[in-house]
Amino acid sequence: MRLRIEALTKTFGDNTAVNAVSLDLASGTLTGLLGPSGCGKSTLLYMISGLEKPTSGRIYFDDEDVTDMPAQLRGIGLVFQNYALYPHLTVEQNIRFPLDNDRRLSRQEKRERVQHIASLVQIDDLLERKPSQLSGGQQQRVAIARVLVKRPRVLLLDEPLSNLDAQLRIEMRREIRKIQQNTGVTTLFVTHDQEEAMSITDNIVLLRKGVVQQFGTADQLYYHPENRFVASFLGNPPINFLPGQPAGGVLTINGYEVAHGLPDRPLEVAIRPEAFQLGDKGMAVAVTDVEMRGKDRLAYFNLSGVPCCATFDSTCALSPGDTIHLQLHREMLHFFDAANGQRL
């Protein structure tokens, strides 16, 4: 089901939590709502669900305007970060709960639907257990199964992995992607974790202060950020920013020609840590610190008086105090207007 929102806005007194957000999400896609805490992600999700009323704007499911439709009639499946399972019910009873008052389904049909969904999320061997007997990942699967059993038109996930440990988060995000692909349900996934959003989504909506900064694939946001905020928010280690002032359209850093054809006005050049290359010539810098990160080795140094970081293969032997020469993958550089932060 296609999900479309037009100029959706929510204000709380003098505070605008969501500001004129417009999106068009294709049927069957998994979209990540990404941004720092307090940027309006959950508020946007709750307006789509019907739990929060917009101040202005419209919400459409396919061509149906559901803006003023009660939440219980929208066909939404909403999963919260705390799972909200009933502790006194078994897994089977928790999953079946949304169907208990549905007189259109026979007892056998309800049982078959629960069995199907439980098998889909790989908890069909846990149906007789209580929530207290489950791991965090298993509880998350039960919460997802409980909303999928209703066959929702849209699935909304609000920070669903935030209560899990690091390894389980990685496992569960793959499971969520698999479940979404198997069901084909249009899904919105709220997270503040860029790695989660980039690893499993078809598209990402990056929000800041209630405003969409960029909408696109993970590759588009990472390799073609539309503004300084997008470039700074994505990437670990974070991107390096250096001030620049081209002369005759040519920008140089430490005597090294970085780019040409640029406007002769103050700008910032953004350099991903992986854009640096070691060479026999190039920008000479002194290594101030080295950090081992598995397959990568991080080198810290100052460039034009600004602390910077570069990533190299972990087999590269580097030590603090070493002088190295750096060249740049020029296609991995980004240039932003110093005044407004927009991409040049």
Specify the CATH number for the domain of residue 23: 3.40.50.300
Residue where a domain terminates, one of 232, 266, 288: 232
For residue 136, what pLDDT is reported? 87
User: CA 143, CA 50: separation in Å to the nearest integer?
Assistant: 19
Which residues of 176-322 form beta strands (DSSP E)? 186-191, 203-208, 211-216, 240-244, 251-253, 256-259, 267-271, 276-279, 283-293, 296-303, 306-313
Average pLDDT (276-299) is 94
Average pLDDT (231-258) is 94
The confidence band for 202, taking pLDDT boundaries of 50, 70 and 90, is very high
| Same domain? 246 vs 220 | no
Average pLDDT (68-86) is 91
Residue where a domain terminates, one of 213, 232, 251: 232
Average per-residue pLDDT for the chain:
94
CB 154 within 8 A of CB 75: yes
User: CA 94, CA 79: separation in Å to the nearest integer?
Assistant: 13
Residue 162 in tokens: 């935030």
Helix pair angle (136-148, 107-120), 10° resolution: 130
Question: What pLDDT, in 10s, does the model give residues 12-28?
Answer: 999 999 999 999 999 99
For residue 313, what pLDDT is reported? 94
For residue 153, what pLDDT is reported? 95
| Same domain? 246 vs 165 | no
Structural domain total, the chain:
2
Residue recorded with tokens 């038109």: 153
Instruction: Select the more confidently predicted residue: 104 or 31.
Output: 31
Residue recorded with tokens 């003023």: 68
For residue 343, what pLDDT is reported? 97
CATH code of residue 272: 2.40.50.140
Average pLDDT (336-342) is 97
For residue 180, what pLDDT is reported? 93
Q: Enumerate residues 6+ apart whose C-beta is below 8 A from 285.
A: 254, 301, 302, 303, 308, 323, 324, 325, 326
For residue 82, what pLDDT is reported? 81
For residue 109, what pLDDT is reported? 93
Residue 330 in tokens: 């020029």
What is the identity of the amino acid at 65? D
Residue 127 in tokens: 């149906």
Question: What pLDDT, in 10s, does the model give residues 114-138?
Answer: 999 999 888 999 999 999 999 988 9
Q: Where are the alpha helices (DSSP H) in 149-293?
A: 166-183, 194-200, 218-223, 228-233
User: CA 165, CA 139: separation in Å to the nearest integer?
Assistant: 13
Residue where a domain terminates, one of 207, 232, 257: 232
For residue 247, what pLDDT is reported? 95
Residue 270, beta-bridge partner list? 241, 334
Asked if residue 331 has pLDDT above 90, the reply is no
Print the domain residue range for 284. Answer: 241-337
